[in-house]
Structure 1
Amino acid sequence: MFKSLLFFFLLLPLILFCQKDTIISGKVVSQSINLEGIHVLNISKKTGEITGDRGYFKIKAQVNDTLQFSAVHLEATRYVIKESDFKTELIFVEMKSLTTHLKEVTLTEYKNINAFSLGIIPASTKSYTPAERRLKSSKSGFIEPVLNLISGRTNTLKNDVGIEKKEFLQIKTSNYFERIYFTQTLHIPEEHVDGFLFYVVENENYARAMKDKNKTMATFLLSGLAVEYLKLKEL
């Protein structure tokens, strides 16, 4: 009897911990570039949050809770929390863009025309991305760099640069490979293509191949990553 009670009291904290809500971190992925301000509602708990910059969000949840994502420019999406979600740093929720049909609209993109090619900015001038500019700014002056280092803001800005590079690589991948290549050649379901793009940019070998403009190697690596992704998602 004593051993049974002892076992129960030892197990009780674990039971209580499992019943408590845990903070879930995630990111909305979509073809839309506007991922800030998306409403994230935990229907089970009647609590809500909104996504921050680039679609990142945090919300309290537990296994089997249903999260609903909604925005005026995206199709409403629901996501049921699984036990495996608590073992990952981020959960990825795909949202489809609402399509608005326009009549007689023609868009022409000139990828080679920019401030450098037009001579507005010298070719030797180093260009910085928004995240790189924020990081560079945080290191200027005398007092501010020290304060940023102590507060942890410098590390946060460095992480932002890494995230931004992955997002640029995702866009570059979309430009290199047509969407039909992912659906018909790699057999990625249409509704999971955006999630797959976010998955592949995490691969260092693929990122290196794209940086070196080695499309042959990038294509080879995509085939293997597609198999991994389909198995991971059990699609």
Structure 2
Amino acid sequence: MIHKAICVLMLVAGQAAWSQAEDRTVLNGRITANSADLEGVYVINAQTEVMAATNDLGAFSILAKPGDELVFSSIQFKENRVLLQPENFCDVTFSVRLNVIMHQLQEVVVKNYNGINAVALGIIPSGQKTYTEAERKLHTATALNATANAGSMAGGSVSADPLLNFFSGRTAMLKKEVAVEKKEFFMKLLERMFSLDHFIDRLKIPAEYVKGFEYYAVENDKFTVILNSKNRTSTEFLLGELAVKYKEIIARENK
């Protein structure tokens, strides 16, 4: 008996919903606002709780009838409620104006806090060694973890990863990456310190050989030490000596 009663109630509810949907037609409209972002605004029929969303042009379609109330809701616009009139369904250009929510700041103060960094805040210990990306990879691949298996052996043990990296050739490859990274750093430093005209006009290096000369210079350990000190006078003096030797190499190769 109870089962039959539930079935009857479900049938009545279904018929009511069907008749309710039959009374309504598709309403096409669009929203307008002082904003280029009109997509994603929710349009809700408060009577049926049917929901739609606007596209990138602000257009929407929803089942409704005169007397229904549409609710327009979005985080960037103020909520707007519109009671539909019969003429809204005859108007091809039915539109709803929305107002943008303005978040006004009372005051913006910009302060310069000198000396505030990760070390000063205690995030990084003072005197901590810093690594470049290539140096960090090499350090990770070669670091010995003395506590890796401390629970299985007295006094701990050494991680096998560095040994595996060594025998697989990964360590050698990472060392080459560090060397290349350092050369690239010195190349950029050299090019920032001296213009192309300096190499061509002052040092008399042919334009097509300038890049080769830069590589030749940064291969010299003594020169990179001076270059890294950023002492322009000393760097320029040693660069002149290297230019003489490099031009001799060019002359020999061109014979």
Place the TM-score, normalised by the shorter chain, in its bin.
0.3 to 0.5
Normalised by the length of structure 1, the TM-score is 0.46
Higher relative contact order (CA 8 A, sep 6+): 1
Larger CA Rg, structure 1 vs 2: 2
